Chains A and B, each alone.
Chain A
């Protein structure tokens, strides 16, 4: 199977390690992905606060571009759009639902697209990497790609808000397990973590730090107390809040044990034996090396 890839703005800037590791992992799994040409911002959370029609239209343009790309290159299969960023995934999914359900919104969105010679038919499937790994590729195929098992490394799988909420297309909204099952296959040990879908603070860490940083701190402290050696996430904003603000949080709340925060794809790449440079490991603020070193000496998966 193959996918069109919608990076979104974050994966081109602070989420660069997510993009690098995602591409490396898909390469390792022999699954081609093509970046969608000419994509634009998905609209995200901020845009929705200003203008709803325009926010949905922005998202719809990307959906229409994916459908057109698939029409022009039928050999690449039906339009499957991979959206690794949680906010993009939510906005694209939400746009599909709302345009299908609400006639007047559909009229506005279609009018906008028509003005730029695009058409959205509703055939594109928006997919999240978690969904693709577990349901398209399957855990068995992932297990086969493992070259270096993670030997009981304890990880807290953090799903955040917008991957499973509000639509829960491929996992439970209250107790999602796809990421836990994935890291188990890699040889790591997911800790039981009821806060796995609690909000990290989102944009509040920048706008109202007293509130936002507190939300992140709750997650960091709880993960550490449960014995997690690192947090694994699939959202660039969650990763940024939990990792980059860690020093600030430490100062503000007097709790300063550094906890590495990796993207799921970085952890997968590590288990697949991909080099650190290809996974963007060196771009992290908190080095995961001590944690990995504690679990060195792992036997190859199928020796």
Chain B
């Protein structure tokens, strides 16, 4: 819907008279938006400066993956600020960000755009609004669980779980690489673990409790 609003075809009027159910308004009203979304994300992302964005587009220009995104980073900032919560949380842009920090370094207004993307990912994860089997959040979630269990990340079980939960066929396609890693001793069956795993878990619990305490 947002796409139609910004990239719509303005060249010709419609040929056919629309049926009564096809008549819809073409712009968003303020009441459709989430007025506090921008502030929430700004606070989460240490980004008070989010609101001083001048829409120069340096972030989109410097981003190595912007040409694959549905909304460029510049648009994301504008949409977050105006409260387009649903559009932003459902877009693919936030997941394509590979955290290379190029935009953060170059932003003339010193907006921490990478942190904004993290805040949006966290929000989308918390609300579960990404497509099922979509690879990137699945990897993040599985990584999280592995570290919670062992204190360290282990590539082999991580990759197995990841492929099972996304696309098991990909496992076959990656088998040659895995085989060579195995042959060169770069893939280990031995699980790396932190000695005091219970201390890692206690730490994560206590930090989370302190967060909830602060929020209430």
What B residues does A49 contact at CB under 8 A? 118, 121-122, 125, 136-137, 140
Contact A46 B210 (CB under 8 A): no
- A13 and B184 CA atoms in complex are apart in Å by 11
Interface residues of A in 1-38 (CB under 8 A from B): 9, 12-17, 37-38
- A14 and B154 CA atoms in complex are apart in Å by 10
Closest CB-CB distance, A8 to chain B, in whole Å? 9
Contact B144 A47 (CB under 8 A): yes
Among A116, A173, A201, the most chain B Cβ lie within 10 Å of the Cβ of: A116
B185 at the interface (CB under 8 A from A): yes
What B residues does A61 contact at CB under 8 A? 199-200, 203
A48 at the interface (CB under 8 A from B): yes
B65 at the interface (CB under 8 A from A): yes
Please tell me which stretch of A76-84, A134-142, A202-210 contacts chain B, meaning at least 4 of its Cβ atoms lie within 8 angstroms of it.
Answer: A202-210
Residue ranges of B at the interface with A (Cβ–Cβ < 8 Å): 44, 46, 64-65, 68, 96, 98-102, 104-105, 112, 114, 118-119, 121-122, 125, 135-137, 139-141, 143-144, 147, 151-156, 159, 162, 174, 176-177, 180-181, 184-188, 192, 194-196, 199-200, 202-211, 214
A111 at the interface (CB under 8 A from B): yes
Mark A160-192 against chain B: 1 for CB-CB distance below 8 A, else 0. 011001101000011000000000000000000
- A202 and B65 CA atoms in complex are apart in Å by 11
What A residues does B102 contact at CB under 8 A? 161, 165, 197, 199
Report the 4 A-B pairs with minimum CB-CB distance, sorted nearest first: A112-B207, A115-B206, A111-B210, A199-B100
**Residue of A101, A198, A283 touching B64 (CB-CB under 8 A):** A198
Contact B207 A50 (CB under 8 A): no
Number of residues from A at the complex interface, CB < 8 A: 71
Contact B203 A113 (CB under 8 A): yes
**Residue of A9, A44, A116, A215 touching B199 (CB-CB under 8 A):** A116
Contact B98 A203 (CB under 8 A): yes
- A198 and B101 CA atoms in complex are apart in Å by 10
Contact A111 B186 (CB under 8 A): no
What A residues does B104 contact at CB under 8 A? 165-166
- A51 and B123 CA atoms in complex are apart in Å by 9
Among A57, A202, A215, A285, the most chain B Cβ lie within 10 Å of the Cβ of: A57
In terms of DSSP, what is the predominant structure of the interface of chain B?
helix
Contact A46 B100 (CB under 8 A): no
A292 at the interface (CB under 8 A from B): no
What A residues does B207 contact at CB under 8 A? 53-54, 56-57, 108-109, 111-112
What B residues does A203 contact at CB under 8 A? 98, 136, 139
List 6 A–B pairs whose Cβ atoms lie within 8 Å, in order of A's numbering.
A13-B187, A46-B139, A53-B208, A113-B203, A174-B105, A211-B68
A302 at the interface (CB under 8 A from B): no
What B residues does A50 contact at CB under 8 A? 121-122, 125, 140-141, 144
**Residue of B137, B152, B174 touching A9 (CB-CB under 8 A):** B152
- List 16 extra interface pairs beyond A116-B203, A204-B65, CB under 8 A: A9-B153, A13-B186, A13-B187, A47-B144, A49-B122, A52-B44, A52-B122, A53-B210, A53-B211, A61-B203, A109-B207, A116-B202, A116-B206, A165-B104, A207-B139, A283-B184
What B residues does A166 contact at CB under 8 A? 101, 104-105, 112, 114
Contact B152 A283 (CB under 8 A): no
- A108 and B114 CA atoms in complex are apart in Å by 22
Contact B153 A44 (CB under 8 A): yes
Contact B118 A204 (CB under 8 A): no
What B residues does A206 contact at CB under 8 A? 135, 139, 159, 162, 174
Closest CB-CB distance, B88 to chain A, in whole Å? 15
Closest CB-CB distance, B99 to chain A, in whole Å? 5
Closest CB-CB distance, A26 to chain B, in whole Å? 21
What A residues does B181 contact at CB under 8 A? 14, 244
Contact A38 B194 (CB under 8 A): yes
**Residue of A12, A57, A285 touching B204 (CB-CB under 8 A):** A57
Contact A247 B176 (CB under 8 A): yes
- A9 and B157 CA atoms in complex are apart in Å by 13
Contact A215 B65 (CB under 8 A): yes
Q: Assuming the A-B contacts A52-B118, A161-B101, A204-B98, are A47 and B147 also in contact, with contact meaning beta carbons closer than 8 angstroms in the complex?
A: yes
Contact A282 B139 (CB under 8 A): no
Closest CB-CB distance, B104 to chain A, in whole Å? 5
Contact B136 A208 (CB under 8 A): yes
Contact B99 A161 (CB under 8 A): yes
Contact B151 A41 (CB under 8 A): yes
A275 at the interface (CB under 8 A from B): no
- A47 and B141 CA atoms in complex are apart in Å by 8
What B residues does A54 contact at CB under 8 A? 204, 207-208
**Residue of A15, A58, A90, A112 touching B206 (CB-CB under 8 A):** A112
Contact B186 A108 (CB under 8 A): no
What B residues does A40 contact at CB under 8 A? 147, 151-152, 194, 200
